[in-house]
Amino acid sequence: MTYKQLVLTDEQKKAFQKDGYLIVKGLFKEQQLKEIDKTFEDISHQVIPGHFEPDLQQETVDPLKRYPRVMHPHRFNETAKRYMLHPPVMDVLADLYGEEPLAAQSMFYYKPPGARGQALHQDNFYLKVEPGNCIAAWTAIDSTDQENGALLVVPKTSEHDIVCPELSDPKESFTTHYVKPPKDHKAIPVVMDRGDVLFFNGNLIHGSYSNKSKDRFRRAFICHYANSSATRISSHYRPLFRADGTAVDIETNPDGGPCGIEYDIPYIH
């Protein structure tokens, strides 16, 4: 099925094709953001095995022990599923894909003050969407800048092949993989306002700074999508969902895995 949403301008679509990413401002309204705030504030005080396993008692130098990321909240929380399928986001994705998008994953990052960042990586190394590619929709729940751990992108790397990662620096990254940018390509910070959404291609090299602020979280609601013409995806992302919430199952790609393997070692400043 070909979608003609006409949500984006030709300039925006060309920018996505050229740079591998695009910011669309204000796709979430304040009332919707407040509902997301409350949902994940409530989740932050729970242990949800397999999805969110904080140490609620621990006093530690590693704030990510208390506030780890929430994996696949759409599988246990209806609000998260609804916003994974947020119509303005799905419309932009349909414009970028030129066909129906399918939702594959949701995540929520609290990224409290002092939290490490995530080393540069490529998302389709993990999702293994074939044929086609995944696209991420990265929603800023808090305004982001270099101090509180903004996302980093390496423009024009979306056409580069998926590469085998190296080992990251555990003092800077909570995940183990690192993809070195090609020669003459540099990572740049993405400054965003609350409610903005950054869309980026699954081959784009990206990561994030550590949160060096004293008292500012850098919360983000992050979802990944596949094109409906794809026939395979890693098993960690099945089933997929149409915009109306109905499940779709496609063939399992034996490669891939969860989005970033976390270090299982003590955090040392």
pLDDT for the residue 171: 86
Q: What is the reported pLDDT for 257?
A: 56
SS3 39: helix
Strand partners, 139: 197, 221
Would the pLDDT of 205 be above 80?
A: yes
Digit-coded pLDDT (tens) for 28-62: 999 999 999 999 999 999 999 999 999 998 666 78
Helix 87-97 crosses helix 10-19 at what angle (to 10 degrees)? Answer: 70
Q: What was the pLDDT predicted at 5?
A: 52
Average pLDDT over residues 16-28: 97
Cα–Cα distances in Å, from 215 out to 64, 105, 115, 152?
Answer: 15, 29, 11, 21
State residue 57's pLDDT score.
81
Instruction: Between 9 and 257, name the one with better pLDDT.
Output: 9
Tokens representing residue 156 in the block: 């024009």
Which pLDDT value is given to residue 266? Answer: 46
CA–CA separation, 186 and 15 (whole Å): 18
165: Cα separation from own chain's centroid: 18
What does 136-184 look like in DSSP terms, one character per residue? EEEEESS-B-TTTT-EEE-TT-TTSPP---EE--TTTBSBSEE-PPPTT
Tell me which residue of 267, 230, 31, 256 sits closest to 125, measured CA to CA. Answer: 256
Quick one: which of 193, 153, 52 has its CA closest to 109?
52
The correct answer on CATH 2.60.120.620 for the domain covering 10-253 is yes
Q: Does residue 223 surpass a pLDDT of 70?
A: yes
> To the nearest 10°, the Cα dihedral for 258, 85, 110, 205?
50
Task: Report pLDDT for 268.
Answer: 41
For residue 3, what pLDDT band results from cuts at 50, 70 and 90? very low
The pLDDT mean for the chain works out to 92
Domain boundaries, the chain: 10-253
Least confident of 5-19, 62-76, 110-124, 237-251: 5-19
Q: Please, which pLDDT band fits residue 2 given cuts at 50, 70 and 90?
A: very low
